[in-house]
Structure 1
């Protein structure tokens, strides 16, 4: 059967009609949670099922039929009011991978042979009371390259949220590991300790690099986590998870390119036809739709995605990959077709700057990112079809939302080109950021596109020290998209002066920070 597959320009393989199967089954309410449909358990109507391209609804008795070919995966799209079963590692169980002869041979093992298609592929759902107000926990790029870095992730991030309450589910935004796919299981073991149903998506360091076409680049990922493209509902939120890495790059067969195959975009289009227009659509993928350098995303794919989203007023995209943090907004000039700009939140990473920097008191790298954002994770608070985001710096109090920089000492009465800087981690151009000295008048700070001096100081310590420091030198600084500057009043009395900062984010929440400088 393998030789019947034809790959073209990275598109999903299609099969001859003779190789196409007809999958059927039932979606049922698993009242006793045993994973099997018992005689007295009823099917659930109007539940969406997909083969990764087509999307159908179950009938009044919970039955469905879908075409299926080797290489596709059947998945239930969880409806609101139900929860998915999870395995002993808290990974949701919502799919059936169809690989009669198994995945192609590769360095890292893919899916074992599944054999003949079962007569009925059934999906269990558990009844659940879902509030329309809930919180999700978001991780960007855990990306360990070694077992030691898995331990850094577990001790420095996972341990901080282990057993967390009042959170509905978690989601990691790709680069679950760093090229060594044997680390998938250690990652799974680590993330299980959070104690939440945990969704995942594929990053460019989670691929089978020996795959000859994009359709096979996710086989090891799928063996561990299920389909790379899927969706689920929670309250009035519809989440679509996508693999947006084209590998090998269809332009030259080398490296990768951000974008989608045709079958993936058809899945999105077919899926959205069944979603109420007043729901919030949350897209989750690894590579941002737009990056500031180079040509990282295929324009035609972004345009087609935006066209599919046009009927929806409320949308949000989540991405990672960059190892910085920023807020992007797409309007008419960027090809967005809706009246309200589309917000993409490029989330700071749990690995920070790839586990670099000084070691803290626990022996874990501080790993501040190149734009001055400390490593951490995000909480998204949903309320109906609206949302707010909080960023939590790992190892710091919840209210630590900015890094404030000022010179330690300044000459009294003498103008200086030095400045007071506030790196407001969740900030964006247009936010209100103000400062005052010694309880004086609040004055606006100027938004600047510069490197964060606090991060520069941290990095250059490695280059000026006389002795080697434990850990690994951080990456060079990059321009921050959430930095503000104020001038230093030098015509004050000698001695210490207190600087206070207050910043108002896009959700109307106010955050504060402070520092001191001395006049001599």
Structure 2
């Protein structure tokens, strides 16, 4: 089982500041920066629309098979549908299966079934209320008898169908703006209060200093906590400092693991945070938040093809699978059918439709990926996901061997982005001077958040490393024979702990033997993708192209020390965590075998598919022998 699946608790090797050991190169000078607003503002929390859904309880004891209500413009912001407050027509309302549109007076009717969540799709130009923690309020859970006995409580009994459930909204210029900045936060995944504090000092503090996402807000795409659902109130305390609405979708570490059926596996998540799936609009964007985790998975539904034997014993060995249930698929088809074709559709999920890190796994991608593609045919779309704790910018046409073998695909129909993780590699490694772990990921990536910078129905992607500006986009290293020998020796020592630990000495020094045995200067370009370029200029000479190690043209993953990020591995093998032994965003430049003895400087220019250029510099030394 891969690290992204098992996710064992990592052991931190010390609490000192990040040593210089493996810091070969990680600073970047930007030539053309993405759009961003860096100055914090206080206007959001001063003026945010705070409120809740209005639930009108029935007094007559009548059994209702239909739920009625309205969507109304809450002029006085008291969350109460007053006689002089108009209903809003054309708003999508759903019970998780059926989708209806409000009439000219804002009214809707929906069929009732037990254990349903009723929610609206926030329309562009309007804002749903947020609570005191900035969590968006746009849904009502209906479960008359409440959840079965669950460790973390689930949903309390809701009683009979209400006389009405009314959804308040207010007009909003920031959600109407065709220019949006949508923050995607992957895998916050706090296992305890210490890790909550790491998140607060890291990515959450960064977001508190930004003011560019008030319209679209922040969407946390699953594994909000690490199995301990009692930490949800702590997470909501984190979102209270954000400058925009917070939304959540569920991951495999947000489960009620004691639920006996998939029907109740996210009851506590639904009670505390959000529906298991839903949609909302801002500007010219339609965001769909999916639940791609089915737990417990079962042999009849999930393993009919024999590829998921982990699902064969749900009673004694419950497990999860990447899958949409039939009810959600029915909802998705109806939801998308009501979205204008000219809108950008953002498909967000925890387990990605597809990814690179787990490209050969049928469990850690979504069974019905082809059905989702069918529903999106002819639309402008982008998929964003978490789960794998890696950063992956996959473009239209990209192909991995596993996607072809498992799903019969011949290339992506639209971009897919794996958004990295706020927790990075599960808060592993040494602590930085700012008090949160380095947590370098399995792809050599660093903790951070993704932002989709949107203009109309077009987007550019931006990854912000925790504690850094948007200018930091690459890290450099030297992959020498000396490093590769150490890689193998240190791995073996980590297994046996026999004798003294092999040390990687002077990682920026290259010997003549290293050059003759092939030495590469490596560039890990986090948002690098098909269509990106990396060029290297040695000592002021002409720029020459580096080669991408993984071309994403249907080949299998290239794995091992020669395909690794030495900057990341030098930290991981010493301080714990995953191993960056493969990446789809690593470039290599072979140093000349006759490079002169002495000091040298490499200037690296990375250019993304949008034409933005980033320049990084690595100083190193060539010696006759070590």
Contact 1:259 1:297 (C-alpha < 8 Å) held by counterparts: no
Contact 2:250 2:269 (C-alpha < 8 Å) held by counterparts: yes
Q: 431, 447, 462: which is aligned to 2:548?
A: 447
Contact 1:320 1:347 (C-alpha < 8 Å) held by counterparts: yes
For structure 1, the residue ranges without an aligned partner over 5 or more in a row are 1-17, 463-472
Structure-1 residue corresponding to 2:571: 458
> Following TM superposition, by how much is the alpha carbon of 1:405 offset from its aligned partner in structure 2, in angstroms?
0.8
Whole-angstrom CA distance in 1 between matches of 2:258 and 2:63: 26
Structure-1 residue corresponding to 2:519: 418
> Following TM superposition, by how much is the alpha carbon of 1:229 offset from its aligned partner in structure 2, in angstroms?
0.8
Q: 434, 442, 454: which is aligned to 2:535?
A: 434
Structure 2 counterpart SS, 1:117: coil
> Following TM superposition, by how much is the alpha carbon of 1:489 offset from its aligned partner in structure 2, in angstroms?
3.1
Whole-angstrom CA distance in 2 between matches of 1:408 and 1:138: 35
Whole-angstrom CA distance in 1 between matches of 2:260 and 2:63: 22
Q: 239, 242, 246: which is aligned to 2:294?
A: 246
Whole-angstrom CA distance in 2 between matches of 1:63 and 1:323: 43
Deviations, residues 403-424 of structure 1 (Å, cap 9, x unaligned): 1113522346963412100011
1:137 is aligned to 2:162: no
> Following TM superposition, by how much is the alpha carbon of 1:308 offset from its aligned partner in structure 2, in angstroms?
1.1
Contact 2:398 2:530 (C-alpha < 8 Å) held by counterparts: no
> Following TM superposition, by how much is the alpha carbon of 1:491 offset from its aligned partner in structure 2, in angstroms?
3.5
Contact 2:292 2:366 (C-alpha < 8 Å) held by counterparts: no
Structure-2 residue corresponding to 1:188: 236
Q: 363, 372, 375: which is aligned to 1:308?
A: 375
Structure-2 residue corresponding to 1:503: 606
Contact 2:251 2:291 (C-alpha < 8 Å) held by counterparts: yes
Q: TM-score normalized by structure 2?
A: 0.75
Matches within 5 A, 1:13-412: 21-129=65-173, 130-167=176-213, 168=215, 169-251=217-299, 252=312, 253=314, 254-290=318-354, 291-296=358-363, 301-312=368-379, 314-329=380-395, 331=397, 341-406=413-478, 407-411=507-511
Q: Is the deviation greater in 362-371 or in 411-420? A: 411-420
Taking a change above 3 Å as real, the CA distance of residues 360 and 117 of structure 1, as seen in their structure-2 partners, is same
Contact 2:211 2:243 (C-alpha < 8 Å) held by counterparts: no
Whole-angstrom CA distance in 1 between matches of 2:110 and 2:230: 33
Taking a change above 3 Å as real, the CA distance of residues 288 and 442 of structure 1, as seen in their structure-2 partners, is same
Structure-1 residue corresponding to 2:39: none
> Following TM superposition, by how much is the alpha carbon of 1:166 offset from its aligned partner in structure 2, in angstroms?
2.1
Taking a change above 3 Å as real, the CA distance of residues 481 and 190 of structure 1, as seen in their structure-2 partners, is same
Deviations, residues 21-70 of structure 1 (Å, cap 9, x unaligned): 20011111111111111111100111110001110001111111010111
Whole-angstrom CA distance in 2 between matches of 1:261 and 1:249: 11
Structure 1 counterpart SS, 2:436: coil
Whole-angstrom CA distance in 2 between matches of 1:57 and 1:339: 35
Structure 1 counterpart SS, 2:164: coil
Whole-angstrom CA distance in 2 between matches of 1:248 and 1:461: 37
> Following TM superposition, by how much is the alpha carbon of 1:336 offset from its aligned partner in structure 2, in angstroms?
9.8
Whole-angstrom CA distance in 2 between matches of 1:340 and 1:365: 34
Structure 2 counterpart SS, 1:61: coil
Taking a change above 3 Å as real, the CA distance of residues 97 and 338 of structure 1, as seen in their structure-2 partners, is farther
Contact 1:401 1:512 (C-alpha < 8 Å) held by counterparts: no
Deviations, residues 309-345 of structure 1 (Å, cap 9, x unaligned): 1141x00111000011112346598679999831110
Contact 1:98 1:114 (C-alpha < 8 Å) held by counterparts: yes
Contact 1:412 1:493 (C-alpha < 8 Å) held by counterparts: no
Whole-angstrom CA distance in 1 between matches of 2:90 and 2:67: 17
Structure 2 counterpart SS, 1:240: strand
Contact 2:249 2:274 (C-alpha < 8 Å) held by counterparts: no
> Following TM superposition, by how much is the alpha carbon of 1:299 offset from its aligned partner in structure 2, in angstroms?
6.3
Taking a change above 3 Å as real, the CA distance of residues 457 and 102 of structure 1, as seen in their structure-2 partners, is same
Whole-angstrom CA distance in 2 between matches of 1:332 and 1:20: 50
Structure 1 counterpart SS, 2:129: coil
